[in-house]
Amino acid sequence: MTASLRGRVLSVIMAVAVALGLAVVAGGTQQAHAGNRDWLRPDNTGTCEWDPVAFWVQRCDVWSPSMNRNIPVQIQPAKNGGNAGFYLLDGMRATYATSGWVSPHSEVNAAKTYSDSNLTLVMPAGGESSFYADWQAPGKYDPNDPVNYKWETFLTQELPAYLEQNFGVARNNNAIAGLSMGAGSAMTLAAKHTDQFKQVLSYSGYLTMTVPGAQTVLRLAMLDVGGFNVNAMYGSLFNPRRFQNDPLMLIPQLRDGGTDVYISAASGMPGQLDKETLPPKFQAPGVALEVGSQLTTRAWEGAARLQGLNPTVSYPAEGLHNWYQWDYQLNASKPRVLNALNAW
């Protein structure tokens, strides 16, 4: 074989080898994307665990230096490895057992709703009566159970770092939604961290937290739910931090940040499912709470429009303050979330 022929043969062999190598790399990348949901990520205990709710949800213990403990977070990875994140916050009676958004005791399964979507669903468990805020003092009157709440720090610093490293969630491609207590908290967090959250959704929230009488109502509610001290959150009635964390006072931040805002609250009139499954005595609290939510939501909407922010609104003619309503809103707003995060 002549030198020139050997050279041509060698070139062909190298070209084939390179082509095969590229095919292997491409195939490997494709497989990694396809299997984004199929493996458990590391957490502070070693590895996350598969959650009983299924739909690829992992229960991960995420270390919070600010609260000096692990926070359980239920996470559904993006279907195709996308970098978007959708945070779902709970109501006032949140427990560390499970997020209400995937609880077997609620009529909603967010993981099933978003099972076909290319975003990472982020559902922290716990935060009873916390308003997902950084409290300035121990939360309870009980000295043996003080509770150190630093939820804002966790949700905007500690958890994003974990999600970026282990789930590929970008720091700047997120939406946040919440129900009831979590709805107002989502609005506050989105307004204060527009670099993290490009969209916020409020389902049956209370969005006017510093109007006359609100502090008294809040005090009674927090005593009832866990025995919490409202003054431990932001201080006394006249502490500036109360106003700095009221969604009503944060409208300019949402407007100037270009945040996409969706707010909803039903009429408080029982719907068909409510009538079929709930005796009247169990409907009554849902009526009162949802009527109050719609009043504050409409007041917030009016203030927002006066200040140049035009939210998308949803005021269903029927619906109580319960999971039937929040499941409806979760599904109704899904296309909006996917569009905002480019997560189809």
Residue 186 half-sphere exposure, CB side, CA atoms within 13 Å?
A: 32
Residue 105 annotated among the catalytic residues of the structure: no
- AA letter at 185: S
User: Quick check: is 267 catalytic?
Assistant: no
What is the greatest pairwise CA distance in the chain? 97
Question: Of 180, 264, 314, 333, which residue is the catalytic one?
Answer: 180
Tokens of 224: 């009832």
Catalytic pick among 106, 264, 301, 321: 321
Give residue 158's identity as a one-letter amino acid code. Answer: E
Q: Are 122 and 75 in contact (CB under 8 A)?
A: yes
Which among 185, 290, 301, 314 is annotated as catalytic?
290
**Pair of tokens at residue 341:** 């995060």
58 CB-near residues (< 8 Å, 6+ apart): 40, 41, 48, 49, 50, 51, 74, 75, 76, 77
Specify the 3-state DSSP secondary structure of 144: coil
Task: Note if 321 is an active site residue.
Answer: yes
Residue type, 62: V
- CA dist., res. 193 & res. 284, Å (int): 36
Q: What positions carry a catalytic annotation?
A: 180, 290, 321
